[in-house]
Amino acid sequence: MRFFYKDKAFVVTGASSGIGRELASLLVSMGAKVIAVARSRDKLESLKEEVDSSNLLIMTGDVTVEADCKKAMDLCLPNFGKLDGLIHNAGISMRATAEEADMKVYESLMATNFYSMVYLYKNGIHLLRQSQGHLVGVSSMMGLFSTHLRSAYCASKHALQGYLDSIRLENMEAGVHVMTVVPGFVKTNITKNALTANGSIRGEDSTNTEAGLEPEEVAMSILEGIMKRKRDVFPSRPKEKVGLFLSKWAPNVLDKIISSSHVT
Ligand SMILES: NC(=O)c1ccc[n+]([C@@H]2O[C@H](COP(=O)([O-])OP(=O)(O)OC[C@H]3O[C@@H](n4cnc5c(N)ncnc54)[C@H](OP(=O)(O)O)[C@@H]3O)[C@@H](O)[C@H]2O)c1
């Protein structure tokens, strides 16, 4: 893998925490050059202190703002002369019923998890066509089936997956690799940072997230998937893979299992 990633140029969004931070760190450790994007300057600075900083450029930016997405893409040519891969990983979740969740929760989740991908694509696809590179979207099992208390999250990740499936087809001849990442639970800050009904931060973890895969394991599976030009990767526990199977072949059974389980 090290040989494959050496001197490749990547943009990673959501690089200040969890899966994105591991991705940026692993890529730099393998000799890649990385633009790491997130809103938290302090966390990006601490990442820069931990890795080979000559290969890491940090950019404070909000992926819900098109100008910030354009800026991330525009940094590639002057700094690296190319873009080999865009990993759009930034995302937020929620915990509230569909009835109680304020419209601003819907707007925030759609903007962060879905429209951001459109902004990045429109401003960066010409670079990925030049390199016949990789466009990766980090979705979720919730992009393929749904659970309660996450209506906007499920809707945004379903939208993301539909979008990725469409642009994969539009870029086949151009040779751009489009990969969807479908993780199960991962031990990160996603649940702590989830929005509640009124849009405030939940601030509390859940047992499922705490028992999830290590972010490093997920990041490694993403990097392997990129190298092998896979269509999708499903870093998850066997129980979660059963959920995926049931969602396709026995959705009524999955509904019964999920509706009777304690979702936090
Ligand atoms: N953890 C799980 O169980 C799980 C399961 C399935 C899918 N996923 C997906 O995995 C991806 C990464 O999440 P994670 O689990 O690593 O959670 P995390 O630790 O909370 O990291 C989320 C990252 O997204 C960034 N981010 C959020 N909003 C942003 C915005 N508007 N602009 C720029 N960056 C933004 C955050 O940085 P700042 O706050 O500094 O901006 C942070 O770096 C997400 O797309 C999530 O939906 C996670």
**Domains of the chain: which residue ranges?**
2-259
Q: What is the CA radius of gyration of the chain?
A: 18
Kindly tell me if the per-residue pLDDT of 234 is higher than 80. Answer: yes
Instruction: With 0.95 as the threshold, say if the pTM is over it.
Output: yes
* Of the candidate ranges 51-55, 161-165, 220-224, the one whose mean pLDDT is the lowest: 51-55
Q: What is the CATH number of domain 2-259?
A: 3.40.50.720
The Å distance, Cα 201 to ligand 1 centre, comes to 13
Give the neighbor-by-neighbor strand order of the sheet with 85-88.
56-60, 33-38, 9-13, 85-88, 134-138, 177-181, 232-233
Kindly tell me if the per-residue pLDDT of 73 is higher than 80. Answer: yes
Kindly tell me if the per-residue pLDDT of 157 is higher than 90. Answer: yes
The Å distance, Cα 64 to ligand 1 centre, comes to 13
pLDDT of residue 263: 76
Q: For residue 39, which of 72, 6, 63 has the smallest C-alpha distance?
A: 63
pLDDT of residue 145: 96
d(CA 207, CA 131): 42
**Does residue 110's CB lie within 6 angstroms of at least one atom of ligand 1?**
no
What atom of ligand 1 comes closest to residue 63's alpha carbon?
32
Kindly tell me if the per-residue pLDDT of 264 is higher than 90. Answer: no
d(CA 41, CA 60): 6
pLDDT digits (tens, 9 = 90+) for 42-71: 999 999 999 978 999 999 999 999 999 999
Phi, psi of 16 (to 5 degrees): -85, -10
What atom of ligand 1 comes closest to residue 20's alpha carbon?
16
Measured at the CA of 121, the angle between CA 47 and CA 31, to 5 degrees, comes to 35
Q: What is the largest CA-CA distance in the chain?
A: 54
pLDDT of residue 52: 76
What atom of ligand 1 comes closest to residue 141's alpha carbon?
6
Pocket test for ligand 1, best of 115, 190, 204, 206 (most atoms within 8 A of CB): 190
- Mention every residue, 6+ apart, whose C-beta is less than 8 A from residue 56: 24, 28, 33, 34, 36, 47, 48
pLDDT of residue 262: 78
pLDDT bracket for residue 252 (50, 70, 90)? very high
> Taking all residues of the chain, what is their mean pLDDT, rounded to a whole number?
97
Nearest CA to ligand 1 atom 1: 186
The Å distance, Cα 92 to ligand 1 centre, comes to 5
What atom of ligand 1 comes closest to residue 44's alpha carbon?
40
Nearest CA to ligand 1 atom 44: 91
**Does residue 212's CB lie within 6 angstroms of at least one atom of ligand 1?**
yes
pLDDT of residue 175: 97
153 catalytic residue (yes or no): yes
- Bridge partners for 87 per DSSP: 12, 136
The Å distance, Cα 4 to ligand 1 centre, comes to 26
